[in-house]
Amino acid sequence: MTQPSRARAIVVADTTPLITLGGAGAIGLLHSVFGKIHIPEQVWDEYEKFRTQMSLPDLAHSVWLHRHQVTITPPFSPLDEGEAAALTLAQILGANVVLIDEKKGRKAAATAQLPMMGTLGFLLRAKQEGQVIAIKPIIDQFGRLNRYYSPHLIAQTLQAAGE
């Protein structure tokens, strides 16, 4: 996948990457790497639901986070509401990247030919761009947040990051 430059990238995020990065204290990397992040209101609502439960950062005044009203389109309606709305928004905006982790959502994104990146891929990119010195300390917090990724995928990511 071609990596869009920060200035022209249209990036749409699903809830899981926001929760994971927020809980690991790394949510600011989204702005550092991409500038603006677009989310549907459904993703905002899901994030807010978990914010107090998980002590996530309050993003209400984040100027880099742009919220959109979205009506979910039929190809994505079988997914959970946040994923479906994020993929619908990605189609509407012609997104360069959809940040999404769940298998069902990634499969639907692939079927719709939407370019995607998971949380681990995003962290690797942040490291490659020099936005973070090491990603292992961030990844090490995922278990505490009840965010689990394949050990093989984590190993591959850390190897690619030189850690």
Q: The domain that contains 73 carries what CATH number?
A: 3.40.50.1010
Q: Which domain holds residue 119?
A: 11-160
Q: What is the count of structural domains for the chain?
A: 1
Is 80 exceeded by the pLDDT of residue 97? Answer: yes
Q: In angstroms, what CA-CA distances link 93 with 11, 37, 88, 151? A: 9, 12, 9, 34
pLDDT at position 7, please?
Answer: 52
Q: Which helix (H) or strand (E) covers residue 20, if one does?
A: helix 15-23
The tens digit of pLDDT for each residue in 66-86 reads: 999 999 988 888 889 999 999
Q: Could you tell me if residue 114 is inside a domain? A: yes
pLDDT at position 75, please?
Answer: 84
The tens digit of pLDDT for each residue in 15-56 reads: 999 999 999 999 999 999 999 999 999 999 999 999 988 889
Distance separating alpha carbons of residues 72 and 84, to the nearest angstrom: 6
Q: Could you tell me if residue 136 is inside a domain? A: yes
Q: Binning pLDDT at 50, 70 and 90, where does residue 147 land?
A: confident
Mean pLDDT, range 105-115, rounded to an integer: 95
Is 50 exceeded by the pLDDT of residue 108? Answer: yes
Q: In degrees rounded to 5, what are phi and psi of residue 86?
A: -65, -45
Q: Could you tell me if residue 2 is inside a domain? A: no
Q: In angstroms, what CA-CA distances link 149 with 5, 25, 31, 145, 161? A: 27, 18, 23, 12, 16
Q: How many residues does the chain have?
A: 163
Q: Could you tell me if residue 105 is inside a domain? A: yes
pLDDT at position 146, please?
Answer: 81
Q: Could you tell me if residue 3 is inside a domain? A: no
Q: Could you tell me if residue 15 is inside a domain? A: yes
Q: Could you tell me if residue 5 is inside a domain? A: no
